[in-house]
Amino acid sequence: MPAYAYFKKNLVPFSQANLSVMTHAFHYGTAVFEGIRGNWNKEEHQVYLFRVQEHYQRLLNNAKLLRFNVPYTAEELTRITIELAQKEDLKEDQYVRPIIYTASEALWVRLHQVEVEVAIFIIPWGPYLDPDKGARCCISSWRRPDDTQVPPGAKITGFYVNSALARTDAFHKGFDESIIETRDGFISEGSGENVFILRRNQLITPPVYDSILMGITRDCVIQIARNEMGLETVERHFRRGELLTADECFLTGTAAHLTSVVEVDNYRIGDGSVGKVTRQLQKLYFDAIYGRSPKYKHWCTPVRSGLGAEVKVNKGR
Ligand SMILES: Cc1ncc(COP(=O)(O)O)c(C=O)c1O
């Protein structure tokens, strides 16, 4: 359990961060959330929050979509998170969970005339999938709803029922993760990750209109592949056939990092082991998120003062 939480505009002991059973968001899934990594750099004795302001900017944009009136800027939320992380003082990889939710004790389905609150807490969290071994995936029998139903990229809690169904589908079939298709049968994304395939030395990933969340990790990988390996990413539709016959495939996400997909529905991807390009990208990506890469240091916001580190909010860009 965390020791502290940001709750109802204050940093409080975690045991005081409790909600009523009548809380509006609990009934209707009317909340938006984020997942932000704090990565522990052992050598520097430092925690680096990764692209924290961009996560908060995305959260505020998503809150706007739900017509939430949120009296915070991304910079203010970043400062609160730094303070919370300093108080928790975890010396390991960690995960920040901010959530903006309809807090009124009222039972009408609506987004107007409801109070909105922000809560943030931090937990220790290692890898979500195994980046060394790679993941065995299935194609989910559940399809991804599209933007005409609920905006799929808005990290709305209610929408995650689709991800939960898909992930549990994978579990019951003996796989690590599900890859979900759009209603038209294009590959969309994993239950909590974006998908890339490599075909003939070109990276391909589904575009925004294939019901994906525009991942921050996805963006990092596109930039790193281009800058460090001269590898361009094409954002275009692709179907299951191209996925099953790809040279390599991997998932990206704040929780999952960059994890190879070695098998889909019992088809081996490539030779069924972690691909060469995936390995190279993994190394570059891990160097970036742990603050070991000077070129990408602007993505990392230090939490701990001392040891010469100035704690300031990096805009990320
Ligand atoms: C459905 C879904 N797709 C993709 C991602 C990856 O996004 P990011 O790299 O910003 O964590 C996430 C994780 O937040 C997700 O929940």
Per-residue pLDDT tens over the stretch 269-278? 999 999 999 9
pLDDT at 265 over 90: yes
pLDDT for res 126: 85
- Among the listed residues 64, 155, 312, 315, the single catalytic one is 155
Whole-number pLDDT of residue 302: 97
Q: What is the average pLDDT across 145-160? A: 96
Residue of minimum CA distance from atom 16 in ligand 1: 192
3-state secondary structure of 137: strand
User: Ligand 1 centre from 212 Cα, in Å?
Assistant: 8
In this structure, CATH architecture of domain 4-126: 2-Layer Sandwich (3.30)
pLDDT for 129 equals 86
First vs last C-alpha separation in the chain: 33
**This prediction's pTM:** 0.95
Residues with C-beta less than 6 Å from any ligand 1 atom: 35, 163, 189, 192-194, 213, 215-218, 252-254
Tell me if residue 87 is catalytic.
Answer: no
Q: Which helix (H) or strand (E) holds 277?
A: helix 276-289
Q: What confidence score (pLDDT) does residue 308 get?
A: 40
pLDDT at 305 over 80: no
Confidence band of 127 (pLDDT split at 50, 70, 90)? confident
Distance CA 187, CA 39 (A): 30
Best residue for ligand 1 mutational test, from 143, 178, 193 (most atoms within 8 Å of Cβ): 193
Q: What is residue 307's predicted lDDT score, i.e. its pLDDT?
A: 43
Summary mean pLDDT of the chain: 95
Overall average pLDDT of the 68-97 stretch:
97
pLDDT of amino acid 281? 98
Is 135-289 in CATH node 3.20.10.10?
A: yes
pLDDT at 310 over 60: no
Query: How many whole angstroms separate alpha carbon 268 and alpha carbon 26?
Result: 41
CATH 3.20.10.10 segments of the chain: 135-289
In the chain, which residues fall in CATH 3.30.470.10? Answer: 4-126
- Per-residue pLDDT for 312 more than 60? no
| pLDDT for residue 16 is more than 50 | yes
Question: Whole-angstrom Cα distance, residue 260 to residue 278?
Answer: 7
pLDDT of residue 313: 54
Residue nearest to atom 1 of ligand 1 (CA): 192
- CA of 194, closest atom in ligand 1: 4
